[in-house]
Amino acid sequence: MIRYLLLLSFVIALSVSGAQLPTDKINASLQMLESDETLSDSKTLSLLLERYSPSVSLLHKRYRATTSEQKKIEEAFADAGIPPFFALIPYCESKFDPDAHGYGTAGLWQFTRQSARNFGLTVKKGNDERLDPERSTAAAIRYVKSLKRQFGSWYLADFAYGMGEGKLQQLIRRNGSKKLSVLLKDPHFPAGTKAHFAKTLLLQARIAAAKEEKE
């Protein structure tokens, strides 16, 4: 009975949201992330986007409430030549809360202690630069650029950001492929990274749609 009610609530949520994926905007994001595949090439991604579509309204609300702070981050990433998709990561990782703490992670970008130190942040009692928006954003830029150099495409850089370099390397070796559609189907692909990727795509699409409405 409980399982039935959960399924029913999920179906209702989809119907309320319309469950109409902004395919053109999602495909534009995938192209910007250097995927040679579109949404039609990955049923797994389509299902993920449908699953997380109901949650994007809250993320967009938070985005609208942090416009001035977000603009600085967008400009920093643009100056570094990084797609705007990555500037939205804090909304899905920390709900854009500079003081957010997770399981061994902290700050807007939810850096682990070791990753933060690897990219120039001080992490010690009384001085945790993961909680400093400006310094942690600069470190995130360095990290994302290093992942791009290592894996060769922006979407793989995002996957590695979510799951770690070692885990992504294992997935690529096991599947013999770097294709988005192939990797997402792997049962060992972390659920948290799937959620991170889908929500960020949906948020970027919602932002683009809102801008179109204003024009």
Long-range pairs, 101-109, Cβ under 8 A, ≥24: 105/130, 106/130, 106/131, 107/131, 107/132, 107/133, 107/136, 108/133, 108/136, 108/137, 108/140, 109/136, 109/137, 109/139, 109/140
What pLDDT does residue 13 have? 42
Alpha carbon 14 to chain centroid distance?
A: 21
What pLDDT does residue 206 have? 96
109 near 139, Cβ under 8 Å?
yes
DSSP 8-state class, residue 111: E
Q: What SS3 class is residue 184?
A: helix
What pLDDT does residue 212 have? 85
Read off the pLDDT of residues 116-162 as tens digits, 9 standing for 90 and up. 999 999 999 889 999 999 999 999 999 999 999 999 999 999 999 99
Q: Mean of the pLDDT values across residues 3-8?
A: 40
Q: Mean of the pLDDT values across residues 16-33?
A: 82
Read off the pLDDT of residues 56-105 as tens digits, 9 standing for 90 and up. 999 999 999 999 999 999 999 999 999 999 999 999 999 999 999 998 99
R_g of the chain computed on alpha carbons: 17
Is the pLDDT at 42 greater than 60? The verdict is: yes
Is the pLDDT at 12 greater than 90? The verdict is: no
Higher pLDDT, 192 or 8: 192
| Least confident window among 11-15, 129-133, 166-170, 208-212 | 11-15
- Of 65, 105, 68, 107, nearest to 90 by C-alpha is 107
